[in-house]
Amino acid sequence: MKILISACLLGEDVRYDGENSSIAYGANFTFAQKELFMDILCDNEIYSFCPEVSGGLPIPREPSEIVSLTKPFIIKNKEGEDVTINFLLGAKNALDLCQKENITIALLKANSPSCGNKNIYDGSFSGNLIPGEGITAKLLNENGIKIFNEKELLELSKFLKMKQVI
């Protein structure tokens, strides 16, 4: 299967702080999770992608949060600068890649204003999470792409096995 994966989860230093969220090397993951992740990488065709960088944001950059979850979406960085267009362009670029390459599954970074699929930060830069989707996750989901985050590796693995049986 073809899987779009957030570049930061693959160890690329593309996060807002210039770091990564590597699953393979991350201290927050058990050996079993790392092994499962490596199995997923080895058994599938992987497409690395960072919507924020694709949308023109630099590395490093000020952290950003979604201020308005409904159209018109508003995303601002910690300095108050409106970066909505960068997030929308990155989301569109991710969708274009998925459509061009017939990618129907994505493993995205949890809680990100681009990639979060269950929760995102509330827009106050206070660390509070609320239910919601990041801009890229929302667009991909609306276009039939199944989204998982790094805390759902087991679910992703089961989903991939089910797809292989079909």
For the chain, percent of residues with pLDDT exceeding 90: 96
Residue type, 85: I
pLDDT single digits (tens) 71-121: 899 999 999 999 999 999 999 999 999 999 999 999 999 999 999 999 999
Closest CA to 88 of 34, 152, 134: 134
* Domain boundaries of the chain, sorted by first residue: 2-165
The Cα–Cα gap between 136 and 94 comes to 7
Best CA proximity match to 114, nearest among 97, 150, 151, 139: 139
Whether pTM > 0.85 for this model: the answer is yes
